[in-house]
Structures are given as C-alpha cells and as structure tokens.
C-alpha cells in the first residue's frame, strides 16, 4: 500500500465518491458515522478506513496497514524521531503533540497529517486532502 499525501493510497484518491470507492475496492467490512457526520468505510483486510465527508467526497484516510509505504519507507518500522523529522521536512512545518496518556497524536496541521502512537508504537497514519485559499479543498488531478 502506497501512501501519497497529496493524492491518497494506491488507486484511491481524495475527492472520490463512495460509489467510486466501492467499485474499486468492493463493499466495506463496516460502515459507521463519526462526530463530523462523515461516512467511514472500514476495509478490515486492507487495514484502511476511508472517510467520505458530508459533501460526498473522500477527504480523510486512516492507514492501519503495517506494510504501507510512504516516501520509500515503512512508517511502522521507522524510528519515531526519524519519521517525525522526515515528515516535518517534507511538509515544511513542525508537528504539534497532543498527549492522551497511552496515546500520543502528532499533528501537522497545515499538511493535514496525523500520526497516532499507542504505547510508543505507530498505530495509525492519518492524512487528509489539503485546503488552499478560502478553505477550498485542493483535490488531486485525476
């Protein structure tokens, strides 16, 4: 599974509709809504959650797949400090830490990237479509 921050994962791209995602990946293992009223499509075998926002377009991706690759490396097998530094350099911004005890969230607010570590290990690599001027989503080119 290839994580592309400005695009999506593999052939799944930001801005896709739920029917387009289902045509590509098949029916999700589970569907649920979150507090933002996004429709979450959970694909258990892929270890992937795709958040279709209320406007009907994919806007946020949760990668739980420990075999995924970003920028030529496996984030799950990369030292935390090294990964955070590399993301910071790539995104051109420092991260912010939200400490929840056994879970720590490292957020790159402008880049729409969040890493969640549970008891010191990467649990989830989350990222979303970026926003430009006037808070308009910057959908990738098809």
Q: Are 14 and 7 in contact (CB under 8 A)?
A: yes
pTM: 0.94
Look at residue 141 and tell me if it is in a domain. no
Instruction: Please state the rounded mean pLDDT for residues 111-128.
Output: 97
pLDDT tens figures, 72-87: 999 999 999 999 999 9
Look at residue 28 and tell me if it is in a domain. yes
* DSSP per-residue string spanning 68-131: -EETTB-GGGS-HHHHHHHHHHHHTS--EEEE-SSEEEEEETTTTEEEEEETTEEEEEEEE--B
Look at residue 140 and tell me if it is in a domain. no
> Which structural domain, as residue segments, surrounds residue 67?
2-135
Look at residue 78 and tell me if it is in a domain. yes
Look at residue 74 and tell me if it is in a domain. yes
Q: How many domains does the chain have?
A: 1
Q: Are 86 and 102 in contact (CB under 8 A)?
A: no
Q: Which residue in this structure is represented by tokens 């990369």?
A: 78
The per-residue pLDDT of the chain, averaged, comes to 95
* 96, β-bridge pairs: 107
Instruction: Please state the rounded mean pLDDT for residues 105-115.
Output: 97
pLDDT tens figures, 54-108: 999 999 999 999 999 999 999 999 999 999 999 999 999 999 999 999 999 999 9
**Which of the four pLDDT bands, split at 50, 70 and 90, describes residue 142?**
low
Look at residue 142 and tell me if it is in a domain. no
């Amino acid at each position: 599974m290839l994580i592309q921050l400005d695009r999506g994962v593999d052939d799944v791209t930001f801005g896709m509709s739920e029917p387009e995602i289902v045509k590509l990946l098949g029916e999700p293992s589970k569907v649920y809504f979150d507090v933002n009223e996004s429709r979450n499509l959970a694909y258990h075998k892929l270890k992937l959650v795709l958040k279709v926002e209320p406007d009907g377009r994919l806007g946020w991706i949760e990668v739980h797949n420990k075999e995924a690759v970003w920028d030529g490396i496996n984030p799950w097998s990369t030292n935390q400090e090294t990964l955070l530094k590399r993301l910071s350099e790539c995104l051109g911004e420092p991260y912010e830490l939200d400490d929840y005890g056994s879970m720590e969230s490292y957020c790159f607010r402008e880049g729409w990237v969040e890493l969640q570590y549970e008891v010191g290990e990467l649990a989830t690599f989350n990222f979303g479509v970026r926003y430009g001027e006037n808070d308009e989503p910057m959908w990738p080119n098809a």
